[in-house]
């Protein structure tokens, strides 16, 4: 019986050259693997199973690390007037640097990591799954803030009518927004650029296109108009085109269903991150996701809009270490998916959940909500996950090649 559940030993890495573009053929391969996981699961016995502001500031040591210069270099620049005096409290003690202050330092020292707009393509990455509750919004917001902390110019496009990502940024989708503030006017061809919808957040260099329930309406409107006008599926892509020069990375939080908006998201994207929960029940939906993704890409192909992705990575999110079933599925996924998976497995963390309860991310917390140890551990794997994404994005940018080489990353 054991033999029967042994899957083909060829790892996906042998079939797909890591780093290559990904299209329908490769995704079909992944889909096959997903069904193999399901089969394994069946055959293995599992146990049952108001205005927000960024309060966080940074010490000179943290600032130095973020900026890529020594504390002495920062102090010297403050002394000779290249940088403003650091903020001090009534007793003359430094109160810490804001992210804005740190980006100012990066500008002065020439260490802003921006892409070269002439050579490097903006990264357009949805955290995509057609299922709710897998952590799409949580991951979107954390990845966005990680990139902002690193000094990139980030735009988050909330395409989910539920507006969770919008809420994370302190905008109440039901009270603070009308449909005119969302993607609605652009997608329904009332306007020619997306600039009207882009708003500042309380994070430096991080902008938001918010969403609210009115976006449900666009699903029906697009579906009704599509037969006569398939180009409507290009709207999100062309919309992002109108704003992309201002950003290094555009992150998209898609709706938890396959519809017109999700099709538009798949068309607009040039890479995908697919969060998955390593739990028995949820795994079925992962295989279904790839089946549906294939259907969606075939449909786009029929319209002559088949996308190619620079990378597609599956992310195991919300793994509960205390549950042997979770640990086993995560391990199995690593074996089966190979390099199509992010190396970092995002654990189920009370820190993320508790921060989320306050509509905050772990990156916004001034101190631990649970214990110092839990907080640090959680931040360590968040950083590891985001860093993997950062490196993949930078690998798509020719202008970063030399620095990646110096850093030993290629
Ligand atoms: N790694 C994690 N650890 C703990 N809780 C998590 C984690 N990822 C997501 N969650 C929680 O799971 C719930 C669903 O996440 P969410 O991002 O809203 O999913 P989606 O956007 O896919 O519907 C939220 O309560 C969130 O706080
Ligand atoms: Mg969500």
Our answer on whether the CB atom of 143 is closer than 6 Å to any ligand 1 atom is no
pLDDT at position 38 is: 63
Residue ranges per domain, the chain?
A: 60-109
Nearest to 125 by CA among 410, 396, 403: 396
Separation of CA 133 and ligand 1 centre (Å): 6
Query: Which letter, b or e, does each residue of 142-158 get, where b requires 16 or more Cβ atoms within 10 Å of its Cβ?
Result: bbbbbbbbbbbbbbbbb
Ligand 1 pocket: which of 274, 353, 355, 358 to mutate (most atoms <8 Å of CB)?
Answer: 353
Separation of CA 254 and ligand 2 centre (Å): 8
Which residue puts its alpha carbon closest to atom 16 of ligand 1? 135
pLDDT at position 3 is: 41
pLDDT at position 91 is: 86
Which residue puts its alpha carbon closest to atom 27 of ligand 1? 353
- Note whether 211 and 178 are within 8 A (CB): no
What are the pLDDT tens digits along the chain (410 aa)? 334 444 455 565 565 555 678 999 999 999 888 878 766 655 553 334 466 788 889 999 999 999 999 999 999 999 999 998 887 888 888 789 999 999 999 999 999 999 999 999 999 999 999 999 999 999 999 999 999 999 999 999 999 999 999 999 988 888 889 999 999 999 999 999 999 999 999 999 999 999 999 999 999 999 999 999 999 999 999 999 999 999 999 999 999 999 999 999 999 999 999 999 998 778 888 899 999 999 999 999 999 999 999 999 999 999 999 999 999 999 999 999 999 999 999 999 999 999 988 788 999 998 898 899 999 999 999 999 999 999 999 999 999 999 999 999 98
Beta-carbon contacts of residue 288 (< 8 Å; ≥ 6 apart): 130
Our answer on whether the CB atom of 133 is closer than 6 Å to any ligand 1 atom is yes
Tokens 């798509």 -> residue = 396
Separation of CA 359 and ligand 1 centre (Å): 12
User: In the chain, count of helices (H) and strands (E)?
Assistant: 17, 7
Atom number of ligand 1 nearest to Cα 347: 1
Judged by its nearest atom, the ligand closest to the C-alpha of residue 142 is 1
pLDDT at position 6 is: 46
Our answer on whether the CB atom of 145 is closer than 6 Å to any ligand 1 atom is no
CA atoms within 13 A on the CB side of 212: 15
Whole-Å CA distances, 334 to 278, 326, 345: 11, 12, 10
Tokens of 64: 């130095």
Separation of CA 137 and ligand 2 centre (Å): 4
Nearest to 306 by CA among 233, 387, 377: 233
Tokens 């409290």 -> residue = 89
Which residue puts its alpha carbon closest to atom 26 of ligand 1? 353
pLDDT at position 43 is: 59
pLDDT at position 359 is: 83
Separation of CA 132 and ligand 2 centre (Å): 6
Separation of CA 311 and ligand 2 centre (Å): 22
Our answer on whether the CB atom of 135 is closer than 6 Å to any ligand 1 atom is yes
């Amino acid at each position: 019986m054991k033999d029967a559940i042994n899957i083909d030993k060829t790892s996906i890495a042998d079939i797909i050259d890591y780093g290559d573009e990904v299209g329908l053929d490769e995704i079909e391969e992944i889909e096959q693997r997903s069904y193999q996981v399901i089969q394994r699961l069946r055959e293995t016995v599992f146990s049952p199973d108001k205005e927000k502001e960024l309060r966080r500031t940074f010490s000179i040591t943290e600032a130095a690390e973020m900026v890529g210069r020594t504390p002495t270099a920062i102090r010297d620049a403050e002394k000779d007037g290249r940088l403003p005096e650091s903020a001090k409290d009534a007793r003359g003690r430094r109160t810490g640097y804001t992210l804005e202050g740190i980006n100012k330092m990066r500008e002065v020292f020439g260490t802003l990591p921006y892409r070269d707009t002439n050579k490097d393509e903006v990264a357009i990455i949805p955290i995509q799954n057609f299922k709710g509750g897998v952590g799409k919004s949580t991951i979107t917001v954390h990845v966005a803030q990680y990139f902002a902390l690193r000094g990139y110019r980030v735009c988050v496009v909330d395409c989910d009518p539920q507006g969770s990502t919008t809420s994370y940024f302190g905008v109440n989708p039901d009270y603070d927004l009308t449909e005119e503030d969302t993607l609605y006017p652009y997608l329904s061809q009332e306007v020619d650029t997306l600039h009207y919808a882009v708003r500042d957040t309380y994070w430096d260099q991080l902008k938001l296109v918010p969403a609210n329930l009115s976006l449900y309406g666009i699903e029906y409107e697009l579906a009704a108009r599509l037969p006569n006008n398939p180009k409507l599926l290009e709207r999100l892509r062309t919309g992002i085109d109108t704003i992309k020069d201002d950003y290094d990375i555009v992150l998209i939080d898609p709706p938890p269903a396959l519809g017109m908006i999700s099709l538009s998201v798949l068309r607009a994207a040039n890479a995908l991150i697919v969060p998955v929960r390593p739990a028995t029940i949820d795994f079925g939906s992962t295989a279904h996701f790839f089946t549906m993704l294939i259907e969606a890409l075939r449909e786009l192909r029929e319209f002559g809009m088949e996308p190619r992705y620079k990378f597609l990575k599956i992310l195991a999110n919300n793994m509960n270490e205390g549950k042997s079933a979770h640990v086993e599925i995560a391990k199995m996924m690593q074996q089966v998916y190979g390099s199509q998976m992010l190396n970092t497995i995002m654990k189920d963390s009370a820190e993320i959940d508790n921060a989320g309860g306050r509509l905050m991310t772990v990156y916004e917390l001034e101190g631990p909500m649970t214990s110092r140890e839990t907080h640090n551990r959680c931040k360590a794997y968040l950083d590891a996950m985001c860093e993997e994404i950062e490196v993949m994005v930078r690998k798509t940018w020719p202008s970063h090649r030399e620095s990646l080489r110096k850093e030993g990353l290629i």
